[in-house]
Structure 1
Amino acid sequence: MLTIKKMAQRTLQFLVVFSFSCFSVVLAAYPDRPITIVSPFSAGGDADLAARSFAQAASKALGQSVVVLNKPGASGVLGSSQVISAQPDGYTLLLGRTGSQAILPAIMPTNTRYNWDNYTFIGLLEVNPYGCVVSAKSSYQNFEDLAQEIKKRGKTLNYGTAGRLTTNDMGPRKLFSLLKVSPQNVPTQIPYKGTGEAVISLMAGQTQFSCGSLGSFLTHIKAGELRALMVTSDKRLDQFPEVPTARELGYDEMETIVGWSAVLAPPNLPQEIQAALARAMQNIGKDQQWQSLTARTGSIPRITSGHETKIFIGKQYELYRSLGEELDIIDNPN
C-alpha cells in the first residue's frame, strides 16, 4: 500500500515530467504566432528601416509574421526598457542601436534604467559606415581643411546632430579630443530632432559640418548636395572610392565610431528559442533580398552569433564609457 508520503512524491514527479513535456512541446512549436520586434525610435529613420528589412526576412526564415512596433521616447530608453520586462518567450525582440544600447548606458547610467548586458543577445545585423560631411558649396575640399578650421575657429564653428548622446554627437567629441581642441573651445553643437533636420541646416549653411552614419547622408551625397570628407570604415567604401578612411588620414581611433543594428531579446530566453533565432539569423544572412535592402540604405550586412554580438556591444559600451570619463560627461551630457 502506498503511503501518503510516497503518493506525494510520485505526484510531484509526475507534475515535473508533465510540465517539462508541455514546455518542450511549446518550444518545439516555436514560433506558433506572430513575433514583435520593437524599434525604440520613430518610423522612417535608420533604426526603423533596419527593423523592417529584418522583419521581412525573418518572417520567411521563421515561417511566422514578424511585425515592427515603433516605441520612440527618451532616445530609445522607453522601447528598450519595455523589451527587458517582456516575457522571455521569443515573441518580443528589440532592434538594438548604438545610442540606446551602448552610449546611453555608458554616459547616462542613472537615467537609462538598464545596463548594456541586461539582454539576451541574438545577433548583429548590420554596421552603418560613419563619416563626416560638409555642404557641396563649402570651401572645405578635404578633411584636413576641416580639421585645420576646427583647430583655428573652435566654438565659432557649428555642427549639426540628431540630438545629444547620439553617434552624431559622440563622433565629433572623439574627433575634437584627437585634434587636441580644448573642451572650452570645441565647435558648437546644434542638436536637431533628427538627422533630416541636421542635413537641411547643413545644406542651408546654418552649420558647417556634420558627422554620422553615411546612410543618412547617402541620397544628398549622390545628388551632389553634400561632400563626404572621411569615413571610419577599415577600407574605402565601394560607393565612395574617392573618400579616404580615418586611418589613412592618421585618425585610427575614429574607426571605433560606427553605427550598428542588433537583434536582442529579454533576459533568460530559453536556449531552445535562442537556437531557433540563431538559425533564422543565419538564413537571413543568406537572403539576397535582405542583403540588397540593407546595402541600399548604405549599411553593410554583418550577421554574427549571439556570443560575438555580446562581445562587440560590450566593447562599444567600454569605448563610450571611456570617452565619457575623458570628457567628464558621465550623467552630465552637456
Structure 2
Amino acid sequence: MFKGILQQSKPGGMRRLAMAAAVAACGLMAAPTASAQYPDKPIRLIVPFGAGGTSDILGRTVGAALASALGQTIVVENRPGANGNIGSNAVAKAQADGYTLLLAADGTMVINPNLYTDLPFNPRTDFAPISRVAVVPLVLVANPSVQANTVGELIDLSKKSGQTLDFGSAGMGSMGHLTGELLKHETGINMQHIPYKSGGQAVTDVVSGQIQMLMTALPVAGPFLADGKLKAIAVTSGKRFSGAPTIPTIAESGVADFDSPSWYGLLAPAGTPDAVLDKLHKTLAEVLTTPEMAAHMERLGAIPVVDSRSEFSARIKTDIDAWSNIIKTANITLQ
C-alpha cells in the first residue's frame, strides 16, 4: 500500500509524505513519554470538606507521603459544601490528566447518591477509582447512666423496658447516622436518631446526658472515654481496632457479620490514562504499607488499606446499592 502511494507521488509530494510520517511518529512517541514523566508539575488533591476534620487530616497525611515518594508537590485544597458534593464535582469535571485528584469519603460517594436527586456527578462513571487509603472504625458510645455496657445488653434493655434510646450523629445522612440505622435494623433496638451539625456537638450532649448514645469516630470520643465521661459499647468494624483493642466489635456482641467502618479513598477524573493511574496506585501502595504509616494512622483512629483499582471500583458500586436498602427501609430523606 505505502509502496503504491510513493510510486504515484511526485518528489515534492514524497518529501511532504515523509515529513508527515515523521510528525505522526513523534506524536505516537509523545503520549507514552508524557505518562512516563508524570508527574512533572504540582498535583492538586481536593478534600471536599473543611479543614481539621478526618477527611482533611487523612488527605494531608496521604498527600505528604505521596509527594515525597513521587518527588513532586501535592497541594491540598479544601472545597467544602453540600456534604462533599461541591469538591467532588470539581474533580469529576477536571481535566483527566492526573493533576487533579480527590480524597473521597464513602458518605459522598455511596450515600449521597441515595439521598440527593440532583447530584451533579455520577460516582459510578465520572471517576477513575485508584484505591481506598483508610478505613475508620466508628464507635458506639453512651453516657455512663445508660444501663447497658454491650450491644446485647442494649437489645435486652430495649426489649424489656420498651425504652427509646436516642443516638446522635454528625448529621442527617452521615455515616454515624446510617450505621446507627443499620444497627437498629439488624438488632431491633428501639433507637431514635438526633442529628447535629457536627460530631463535636453531639458528643457534648451525650456527655451532659441530653441524649444517651452517639455513633462517631474514635478520635472524637477518645478524650471523653479516657476520663470516664463516656463509655464505649462497641466498634463498627469487623475486627477490633488495634488502637483500642479492649473495645469489642458489634459482630462479637452477637450481630453476625456486622462490618461497617467508614472509608476514604483516592480518585481521579474518569478518562485519566491507565499509565498515570497505575503509577499513582503503585506509589500509594508503597507509602501506605510502611510500619510508620500504620502507626501514624492508628494515632488518627484509622487503618491504612490498599485495594486494586478494580476492587475499589466494585466496592463503590456495591456500597451504593447496599446503603440504598437501608435508606429506603429507614425512610431517610434530606427534606
Q: Residues 4 and 163 from structure 1, CA distance in 2 versus in 1: closer, same or farther, beyond 3 angstroms? A: farther
The one-letter code sitting in structure 1 at the alignment partner of 2:120 is R
Higher alpha-carbon Rg? 2
- For 2:193 and 2:330, the matched residues in 1 are separated by 15
- For 1:265 and 1:92, the matched residues in 2 are separated by 7
Cα deviation for residue 324 of structure 1 reads 2.2
- For 1:192 and 1:270, the matched residues in 2 are separated by 41
The one-letter code sitting in structure 1 at the alignment partner of 2:31 is F
Q: Deviations over 1:231-253 (max 9, x none)?
A: 22223333433322222222125
Q: Residues 9 and 199 from structure 1, CA distance in 2 versus in 1: closer, same or farther, beyond 3 angstroms? A: farther
Q: Residues 214 and 153 from structure 1, CA distance in 2 versus in 1: closer, same or farther, beyond 3 angstroms? A: farther
Q: Give yes or no for contact 2:243–2:298 (8 Å, CA) kept in 1.
A: no
Q: Give yes or no for contact 1:85–1:266 (8 Å, CA) kept in 2.
A: yes
Aligned with 2:92 (options 65, 73, 84): 84
Q: Residues 10 and 162 from structure 1, CA distance in 2 versus in 1: closer, same or farther, beyond 3 angstroms? A: farther
Q: Give yes or no for contact 2:288–2:304 (8 Å, CA) kept in 1.
A: yes
**Residue aligning to 1:202:** 206
Q: Residues 109 and 12 from structure 1, CA distance in 2 versus in 1: closer, same or farther, beyond 3 angstroms? A: farther
Aligned with 1:31 (options 39, 42, 65): 39
**Residue aligning to 2:122:** 115
Kindly indicate whether structure 1 or structure 2 has the higher relative contact order, using CA contacts under 8 Å at least 6 residues apart.
1
Structure 1 unaligned spans of 5+: none
Cα deviation for residue 153 of structure 1 reads 6.9
- For 2:16 and 2:324, the matched residues in 1 are separated by 54
Q: Give yes or no for contact 1:171–1:211 (8 Å, CA) kept in 2.
A: yes
The one-letter code sitting in structure 1 at the alignment partner of 2:320 is Y
Structure 2 unaligned spans of 5+: 1-8
Cα deviation for residue 283 of structure 1 reads 1.5
Q: Residues 2 and 208 from structure 1, CA distance in 2 versus in 1: closer, same or farther, beyond 3 angstroms? A: farther
Number of residue-to-residue matches in the alignment: 326
Matched, 1:312 2:319: no
Q: Give yes or no for contact 2:132–2:312 (8 Å, CA) kept in 1.
A: yes
- For 1:156 and 1:85, the matched residues in 2 are separated by 45
- For 1:57 and 1:17, the matched residues in 2 are separated by 37
Q: Give yes or no for contact 1:37–1:55 (8 Å, CA) kept in 2.
A: yes
**Residue aligning to 1:131:** 139
- For 1:139 and 1:322, the matched residues in 2 are separated by 31
**Residue aligning to 2:264:** 261
Q: Residues 320 and 6 from structure 1, CA distance in 2 versus in 1: closer, same or farther, beyond 3 angstroms? A: farther
Q: Residues 324 and 125 from structure 1, CA distance in 2 versus in 1: closer, same or farther, beyond 3 angstroms? A: same
RMSD: 2.5
**Residue aligning to 1:51:** 59
**Residue aligning to 2:4:** none
Matched, 1:161 2:164: no
**Residue aligning to 2:280:** 277
TM-score if structure 2 supplies the norm length? 0.88
Q: Residues 8 and 299 from structure 1, CA distance in 2 versus in 1: closer, same or farther, beyond 3 angstroms? A: same
Cα deviation for residue 95 of structure 1 reads 0.6
Q: Residues 224 and 5 from structure 1, CA distance in 2 versus in 1: closer, same or farther, beyond 3 angstroms? A: farther
**Residue aligning to 2:303:** 300
- For 2:280 and 2:133, the matched residues in 1 are separated by 13
Q: Give yes or no for contact 1:124–1:303 (8 Å, CA) kept in 2.
A: yes
TM-score if structure 1 supplies the norm length? 0.88
Matched, 1:286 2:294: no
Matched, 1:321 2:324: yes
Cα deviation for residue 293 of structure 1 reads 1.9
Q: Residues 191 and 26 from structure 1, CA distance in 2 versus in 1: closer, same or farther, beyond 3 angstroms? A: same
